[in-house]
Chain A
Amino acid sequence: MATPEAPLREILKSISFTRLPLRHIEPFFVPEPITVPRLYIYGNNQTKGGPSGCVLPTYDIECLRALAVLRFAKYRFDVAHTAEPNASPDGKLPYLLLPDGTALRAAEIASHLEQSGHSLPDCPLVGELAYRTMVERSLAPAVEYMAWVDPVGFEAVGDARYLGGYPSLIRYLLGWIKSSRVAASVRCGLPEYGAALDGDVLTENALRALDSLLALLGDGDYLAGAPSLLDAHAAACLNVLLEAPLKCPLRSALLGPDSKYKPLADYALRLLDKHLST
């Protein structure tokens, strides 16, 4: 698998005083070049599909969103699974590696699609930004909390799906560090200053967001009428909720026998089948 070359040469060139006494030694192992852009995402140990029968490529919301955006834009690319985010320019997954060696962070993928002529069609929904903000700040934190902070969810998803490859002591430490960071970020993201971290409050916020999305979806195939960034993010959050082995009230609300959110669940599974599955 080709790995991105560290931009050491460019750094050394920009800092003149490091020409002496440092020397740059040419790499003796040249990585195999890639011909098609490659998206690096967290993997998924799952081998068989969930309720839909399709295999979700990853349980990470950001990775799934980037994957959805690229698929919506009909951009030709490969998918590579990795558990090491440090190869990314910002140390986080996902990142997109281009054939010329450039590595793009998740935030730069949308602008790259525009420059390469693969941008998403104009969104007909007025206020799409408001809905997208609602999904990012109400729904996604609840899913992250269920996967990393809630003890049952951590054991089923955070520990088993992300840290399974590490030795036990390091796995324990990494899990605790990640869990603490997610808890701190979710708590800081709450609108009220000093609010305690409460899973019930996060669940209520997420259910309110689901109510809003349900009303927006109506009988349509997409939330915004056409594939959009809103659909990418909403589908990512909903599919992680549906396919990941989480035991939380949100999942019960989506998958309940007489759930009023069944149209949303069907919408998420439809997008998984059409755009996201491997």
Chain B
Amino acid sequence: MYSVYAWGSPFAAEGLSSFDPSCLSIQAYLQLCKADWQLHWTSGADISPSSSLPALTCGGSVVESGFWHIVEFLRSEGHNLDAGLDQEQVAQATAYISMVRDGLADALLFSWFLVSENFVGVIRPRLAQLFGFPLSLVVPTQLKSHAEQRLGASGPTAGHDEPAGADGPGAGGAADTPRSRIPRIYLLAKHGFRRYPDRSAHPVYAQAAEYLAVLSLKLGSKQYFFGDRPSTLDAVVYGYLSPIIRVALPQDTLRTAIVDKHPNLAAHCERIHAQLEQPVPASTQGALAGMLAAAKQSILRYAALPALPLPDAKDNPQRAEKVRSATGALLVFLAYVVYNGIVSAPSPKTMRTSENPGDAADMGGLLSAVKDM
């Protein structure tokens, strides 16, 4: 039996067994290929060797983590949803899966984390309920900052003058105009301090509309994307579209775009959902373990950046030896200085009785020590 470790679900009432689309995709894949598996909810990715969920274990040891690694492992175990596809269809599936996981996911992240009304009204409270105190104070903000970084680096907001997290009244408009150079405080005073601006015109939604149009054209009127049997692409599309369709948000631009303009995609998600059973998690990770995992995640995020583009110490043992020698010499020097009293702080008693002639010698000794330094 396989065990899947996945992020928990604050949307269980909506029929979702995880808030993470990758985890949902893997769960859908396992159910569609009728593998024997059980679900474990976790508050951190500590169990995963790649620091990301989902993670798959078999026989008590972690086998794979990450969507593609898990899928390729399951295919090698005989659970291959793409067994009936030819080479050209497999190539198409790879491209469409990349479009959904990389392109459409940007719109989902924007809608959930960068639209203030949605984040403050629905997403953050639900995630806070899921993780519990004190993770509820940390994890939603971490997810939001991850979304901002991702959209700023590679999403539609990359290259825009407007930052990914900007929420002023002028946000969402044309990027490079003289208006965009006017200070935001001036615009806020002129247009009013609206709390939740309308982000429905943001370019990320226009790009998502293109992706949805391509997906809808590919699906057409078929039951599944490649004929009458579900494939990996069906599982991925379900994993990424069902959170959009099933979670009601105050500003649901994306959901409206799918339901109103591409009803075949909405019907496809419902069709897949009807075939899946709501998995009952076998275990849930505790708050303390999750808190430690979250702290480790935030440290690793900075530690993953390259420190310096320098050769590894294994390739340059002489340099490592030099660093150790210099560090040791510095420590020995500091120890010598402290041990011999070259640097010492005057005691409060010495300072208070400095007016007493009997203590002039102490003061003289202190001054001479300072002078000798």
Contacts and interface: CB of A to CB of B under 8 A. Distances in A.
Given A189-B150, A212-B91, A212-B94, A179 B306 contact: yes
Interface in A171-201: 175-176, 179-180, 183-185, 187-198, 201
Interface stretch (A35-43, A46-54, A203-211, A249-257): A203-211
B178 A10 contact: yes
Interface string B77-93: 00000000001101110
Given A188-B146, A191-B101, A193-B52, A105 B159 contact: yes
A221 to B, nearest CB: 18
A189 B95 CA distance: 16
Interface stretch (A20-28, A63-71, A124-132): A124-132
A101 interface: no
Interface in A137-161: 137-138, 141, 149, 151, 154-155, 158-159
Contacts of A106: 159
B309 interface: yes
Contacts of B51: 194-196
B306 A138 contact: no
Contact of A176 (B102, B153, B308): B308
A94 to B, nearest CB: 12
Nearest to A126: B217
Contacts of A133: 95, 98-99, 102-103, 211
B contact residues, range = 35 or more
B265 interface: no
Contacts of A158: 309
Nearest to A184: B305
B102 A197 contact: no
A248 interface: no
A205 B68 contact: yes
Given A187-B304, A209-B94, A192 B154 contact: no
Contacts of B297: 194
Contacts of B101: 191
B53 A192 contact: yes
A127 B50 contact: no
Given A191-B101, A211-B94, A11 B181 contact: yes
Interface in B305-335: 305-306, 308-312
A90 B210 CA distance: 25
B308 A131 contact: no
Contacts of B214: 127, 129-130
B66 A208 contact: no
Contacts of A10: 178
A215 B52 contact: no
Contacts of A214: 91
B309 A151 contact: yes
A110 interface: no
Given A137-B103, A183-B306, A192 B95 contact: no
Contact of B211 (A129, A194, A205, A215): A129
A196 B52 contact: yes
Nearest to A148: B309
Given A130-B96, A151-B311, A188 B102 contact: no
A156 to B, nearest CB: 12
B50 to A, nearest CB: 5
A154 B309 contact: yes
B22 A90 contact: no
A134 B91 CA distance: 11
B218 interface: yes
A127 B143 CA distance: 31
Contacts of B300: 194, 196
A127 B99 CA distance: 10
Contacts of B45: 194
A195 B95 contact: no
A116 interface: no
Given A126-B218, A130-B214, A191-B22, A175 B309 contact: yes
Contact of B102 (A155, A180, A185, A189): A189
B70 to A, nearest CB: 11
Nearest to B301: A194
Nearest to B156: A107
Nearest to A137: B102
A138 to B, nearest CB: 6
Contacts of A149: 306, 309
Given A130-B214, A154-B309, A195 B50 contact: yes
B91 A192 contact: no
Contacts of A204: 68
10 contacts: A134-B99, A141-B154, A179-B306, A183-B306, A187-B304, A193-B143, A194-B146, A211-B91, A213-B91, A215-B90
Given A127-B217, A129-B99, A180-B306, 6 more contacts: A10-B178, A127-B92, A127-B214, A130-B92, A130-B99, A194-B45
Interface of B: 20, 22, 45, 50-53, 66-68, 87-88, 90-92, 94-96, 98-99, 101-103, 105, 143, 146, 149-150, 153-154, 159, 161, 176, 178, 181-182, 210-211, 214, 217-218, 297, 300-301, 304-306, 308-312
Report the 6 A-B pairs with minimum CB-CB distance, sorted nearest first: A215-B91, A185-B153, A192-B52, A14-B178, A195-B52, A137-B102
Interface of A: 10-11, 14-15, 89-90, 92, 105-107, 126-127, 129-131, 133-134, 136-138, 141, 149, 151, 154-155, 158-159, 175-176, 179-180, 183-185, 187-198, 201, 204-205, 208-209, 211-216
